[in-house]
Amino acid sequence: MKTEVLVLGGGPGGYTAAFRAADLGKQVTLVERFPVLGGVCLNVGCIPSKALLHVASVLNESKEVSAAGIKFAEPEINLEQLRDWKNKVSHQLNAGLAALAKQRNVTVVNGTGSFIDATHLQVGSEIIEFEQAIIAVGSRPVKIPSFPNEDARLIDSTGALKLDDIPKKLLIIGGGIIGLEMATVYNALGSEITIVEMQDQIIPGCDKDLIRPLFQKIKKDYANIYLSTRVSNIEALADGLKVSFDGPSVPESELFDKVLVAVGRQPNGGLCDADKAGVVVDERGFIAVDKHQRTTVSNIFAIGDVVGQPMLAHKATHEARIAAEVIAGMKSQWQALTIPSVAYTDPEIAWMGLTENEAKAQGIEFEKAAFPWAASGRSLANGRKEGVTKLLSDKKTGRILGAGIVGTNAGELIAEAVLALEMGANVEDLALTVHAHPTLAETLGFSAEMIEGTITDLYIKKR
């Protein structure tokens, strides 16, 4: 078969690229190895994890509200029903994507595609001839070769989201976003959680002051959090996985019912014979692209996890539009100023623009405000007081440089800061924007007022 635009991979990057190219008048074929569209994000990532995190938050809130005199009975967890419900959420979106593809006349081919050369892709016995291609093959969880990976009790994020059981004792290797989100889910379902993180803080890329409220909370809720620690060995025994640690103040070994490995993801660039098309794939599996998402081969583009960090669905969809638009003859290129990060933990952590660590490392002179949610009426009314909204601005121009939020709904709240940064807003713009009261969004306005020196919701002594 022949196609104008071939898209390899049907995750958020791939389907967005396919749909945008079709909307721009291209004839598009989308190749996906799984029988449904949506990729890791929709099937074994963002969406099922958010469904489970929603349930976790209901379970947690039903306990926390006892402080207000409301006591619920112990929840009964029907695991099979919970699994079905979570799968139903994904299936609804799978069906939606299939319909969207059909409405646009995008041809979806199921199967694993491998390049033959720069204009041909093989899928099973079929050969597809294309004019332009977009590689959107994503990434997979990193495996640690010395671990007993064939043992069913050693799982990755896909295994954790399957929810086969609720292990009594769960060890999570990697205190990054996946590890901490899964810890939130399994802790709420009743597992005893231990986390091992190689670095000296969880979510190492994020400022420490934003991590602190989450860390304080989970330190109380979880059995152990071992920082600056590695797992040196895992032995599969009949009654559990015997894990040996290497780090300060850790037990020599401990037995766990399940171990989740969440130490990052690796790109799938090496799995589609892109090199046969002349595309350079580095030794880790990444494919280099320019600001138009074009690879070293002029008719082949790449987007999403396979082109580099951060491996986030919203980065992939943004790149997807660029690639599709360039193919359609538009002058699109990467111009976004920031890609927000969100950890959907409890509390959530979200940040965008420069972190404080980055601003310091780059020698940028900045003003900083951190508004404590203990002074937010809305947060206290929600029964929470640990949040913080931090804003960084350029000392000379007042332009917003970065923001970080820790607290409930931080992932939703960060959007205002992202828009402010993209619009070139300064602190005064944020401070003079009327925020509805009482909302958590107000805390962004308050932190701007702190920098402006106009805040009335706190008392800050004049310097």
Give the residue closest to ligand NAD by C-beta.
176
Cβ nearer to ligand NAD, comparing 173 with 406: 173
- Name, in order, each residue with C-beta under 8 angstroms of 320's C-beta and a sequence gap of 6 or more: 12, 13, 14, 16, 17, 20, 134, 136, 303, 304
List % helix, strand, coil for the chain (3-state, nearest 5): 35, 25, 40
Cα–Cα distance, 167 to 186 (Å, whole number): 8
SS (H, E, C) 14-68: HHHHHHHHHHCCCCEEEEECCCCCCHHHHHHCHHHHHHHHHHHHHHHHHHHHHHH
Cβ nearer to ligand NAD, comparing 157 with 376: 157
Give how many residues touch ligand NAD by CB under 6 A: 25
Binding ligand NAD (rule: CB under 6 A), the pick from 36, 160, 197, 371 is 197
Does residue 318 interact with ligand NAD by CB under 6 A? Answer: no
Cβ nearer to ligand NAD, comparing 175 with 213: 175
Is 437 one of the catalytic residues? yes
Does residue 179 interact with ligand NAD by CB under 6 A? Answer: yes
Number of C-alpha atoms within 13 angstroms, CB side, residue 213?
Answer: 22
Does residue 225 interact with ligand NAD by CB under 6 A? Answer: no
Binding ligand NAD (rule: CB under 6 A), the pick from 204, 247, 278, 438 is 204
Query: Shortest distance, CB of residue 316 to ligand NAD, whole angstroms?
Result: 11
- Stretch of 195-203, 285-293, 386-394, 455-463 lying at the interface with ligand NAD (CB under 6 A): 195-203
Cα–Cα distance, 353 to 336 (Å, whole number): 11
Q: Which two three-digit tokens encode residue 183?
A: 């810890």
Q: Give the CA distances from residue 263 to residues 148, 152, 196, 199, in Å, rounded to whole numbers and listed in that order.
A: 16, 18, 10, 11
Q: Which two three-digit tokens encode residue 407?
A: 């607290």
Which residues in the 159-178 window bind ligand NAD by CB under 6 A?
173-178
Does residue 265 interact with ligand NAD by CB under 6 A? Answer: yes
Angle made by CA atoms 317, 408, 403, in degrees to the nearest 5:
60
Binding ligand NAD (rule: CB under 6 A), the pick from 310, 377, 383, 453 is 310
**Torsion angle of the four alpha carbons 448, 450, 451, 453, in this order, in degrees rounded to the nearest 10:** 120
Binding ligand NAD (rule: CB under 6 A), the pick from 22, 41, 198, 391 is 198
Does residue 199 interact with ligand NAD by CB under 6 A? Answer: yes
R_g of the chain computed on alpha carbons? 24
Cβ nearer to ligand NAD, comparing 191 with 426: 191
Q: Give the CA distances from residue 364 to residues 95, 141, 356, 357, 421, in Å, rounded to whole numbers and listed in that order.
A: 48, 36, 10, 10, 16
Cβ nearer to ligand NAD, comparing 22 with 182: 182
- Stretch of 102-110, 116-124, 196-204, 325-333 lying at the interface with ligand NAD (CB under 6 A): 196-204
Q: Which of 120, 318, 435, 437 is catalytic?
A: 437
Does residue 13 interact with ligand NAD by CB under 6 A? Answer: no
Q: How many helices (H) and strands (E) does the chain have?
A: 13, 22
Question: Would you say 196 and 226 are in contact if contact means Cβ atoms under 8 Å apart?
Answer: yes
Strand order from edge to edge, sheet including 253-256: 230-237, 240-246, 253-256
x/- letters, 270..309, toward ligand NAD (CB under 6 A): ----------------------------------------
x/- letters, 234..263, toward ligand NAD (CB under 6 A): ----------------------------xx
- Name, in order, each residue with C-beta under 8 angstroms of 355's C-beta and a sequence gap of 6 or more: 205, 206, 207, 402, 404
Does residue 350 interact with ligand NAD by CB under 6 A? Answer: no
Cβ nearer to ligand NAD, comparing 30 with 311: 311
Cβ nearer to ligand NAD, comparing 144 with 423: 144
**Torsion angle of the four alpha carbons 61, 63, 69, 73, in this order, in degrees rounded to the nearest 10:** 120
- Stretch of 116-124, 198-206, 318-326, 353-361 lying at the interface with ligand NAD (CB under 6 A): 198-206
Cβ nearer to ligand NAD, comparing 39 with 179: 179
- Residues forming contacts to ligand NAD in the complex (CB under 6 A) are 173-179, 181, 196-199, 204, 230-231, 262-265, 310-312, 342-344
- So which residues are the catalytic ones? 437
